[in-house]
Amino acid sequence: EIVLTQSPGTLSLSPGERATLSCRASQSVSSSYLAWYQQKPGQAPRLLIYGASSRATGIPDRFSGSGSGTDFTLTISRLEPEDFAVYYCQQYGSPRFTFGPGTKVDIK
Amino acid sequence: EVQLVESGGGLVQPGRSLRLSCAASGFTFDDYAMHWVRQAPGKGLEWVSGISWNSGSIGYADSVKGRFTISRDNAKNSLYLQMNSLRAEDTALYYCAKARRTWVAGAFDYWGQGTLVTVSS
């Protein structure tokens, strides 16, 4: 089973700042089958990025993903008030579709 | 518009069973894999189980293997999760999620609002 580790656990930033979130896998993720999700309190998760770097439908271009192999990054170029949430990475290249523990982005 | 509506959650005693359902609409159900993901109160996301478009491939998390059974009825556009021998640690909000592909290689692009399962005596 591929284990995903996310860092930092919490990121405290101000609106307008750049956010950089990390996701590291215990082994190489097949074909960059790595996704990022955003979850706000009381809501279901929302797909942001798939294939490590492709934005899902309707996702603003301030969200970008990069990486391959075992190291992946989600970048939010300029934080908007609605971006303060928890972000999860997920690998879906093997039949154990594991999630990382999440990074909370909160307002500084 | 894609819609996923879960049902079947509730309060159940340890050791008992529960069956969750997910009614899907707004897309061609039998073209995609489907999954169950759960979230314990105040915790992160945990993938529980998934099933390919034709039920030919099925997977389970180690935490539920042997106790939970996933199935789908493509004629009814429905996904199910039979949960047996329930434990307190199965208490969570259970989400139904649609994948972008027929099995692996598909991220989860639509999610339901979840159904709450509480296991307690």
Query: pLDDT tens, B54-91?
Result: 999 999 999 999 999 999 999 999 999 999 999 999 99
State the smallest CA–CA distance between residue A18 and chain B in angstroms: 24
Q: Chain A contact for B1, CB < 8 A?
A: no
CA distances from A103 to A49, A65, A96, B6 (A): 15, 15, 21, 27
Q: Chain A contact for B19, CB < 8 A?
A: no
Give the pair of three-digit tokens for residue B113: 């609002």
pLDDT of residue B18: 98
- Give the separation between CA A11 and CA A58, rounded to whole angstroms: 25
Residues of chain A contacting residue B62, judged by C-beta atoms under 8 Å apart: 1
pLDDT of residue B103: 84
> Torsions phi, psi of A45, nearest 5?
-65, 155
Residues B25 and B2 sit within 8 Å (Cβ to Cβ): yes
Residues of chain A contacting residue B95, judged by C-beta atoms under 8 Å apart: 44-45
| pLDDT above 80 for A42 | yes
pLDDT of residue A57: 96
The reply to whether residue A39 touches residue B45, judged by beta carbons under 8 angstroms, is yes
| pLDDT above 80 for B53 | yes
Give the pair of three-digit tokens for residue A57: 């439908």
- Give the separation between CA B26 and CA A57, rounded to whole angstroms: 16
The reply to whether residue B44 touches residue A102, judged by beta carbons under 8 angstroms, is yes
State the smallest CA–CA distance between residue B121 and chain A in angstroms: 26
Q: What is the mean pLDDT of residues A63-84?
A: 97
| pLDDT above 80 for B104 | no
Q: Cα A2 to the chain's mean position, in Å? A: 16
**Beta carbons within 10 angstroms of residue B56's beta carbon:** 9
Q: Which of B8, B104, B5, B6 is nearest to B53 (CA)?
A: B104
pLDDT of residue B30: 94
Q: What is the mean pLDDT of residues A55-82?
A: 97
Q: Cα A27 to the chain's mean position, in Å? A: 18
pLDDT of residue A1: 87
Q: What is the mean pLDDT of residues B25-40?
A: 97
Residues A11 and A104 sit within 8 Å (Cβ to Cβ): yes
